[in-house]
Amino acid sequence: MAIYVTDTHPLVWFARGQRSKLSARVLRLFRDAERGRALIYVPAVVLWEISILLKLSRVRLLQPFTQWAELLLAKQGFELAPLDPQVMGEAMQFSFNDDPFDAVITATAVLKDLPLITSDREIVAAKIVEIVW
């Protein structure tokens, strides 16, 4: 089974049905995860970042946040990756930008030794982790 870590923007685009913003490969991975044929780790900070973006009215979901998050994580192909001291310590090593969410998301992929689903230019340019897009 293929296993990945996701960044915030691909998950939001998939959740909102904005499939055209995703590459064909990433769309297939998310659909495979929905069917239990792939596993996508969702870092806890991804959910936190989405909740902040919702509060600031920068994104919208099709359901209330808590309901959406619980339904997502109840699916066989999605699992929460916790924010723990190991991840925080790893994130402290990165200086590719000033976004703490990006550092923690990247650290999660590094520690799990998994590819990261992202099109974030700064993360891609840092060449810290394998990127899937």
| pLDDT score recorded for residue 31 | 97
pLDDT per position in the chain (133 positions), as tens? 899 999 999 999 999 999 999 999 999 999 999 999 999 999 999 999 999 999 999 999 989 999 999 999 999 999 999 999 999 999 999 999 999 999 999 999 999 999 999 999 999 999 999 999 9
Closest to 73 in 3D by CA, of 107, 32, 43: 43
All structural domains of the chain: 2-132 (3.40.50.1010)
Record the pTM.
0.95
Contact 101, 86 (CB under 8 A): no
Contact 117, 109 (CB under 8 A): no
Judged by phi (left if over 0) then psi (alpha if -120 to 50, else beta), residue 40 lies in: beta
Q: Is 95 helix (H, G, I), strand (E, B) or coil?
A: coil
Question: Residue 111 is which amino acid?
Answer: L
Longest dimension (CA), the chain: 37
Return the residue matching tokens 């990127």. Answer: 131
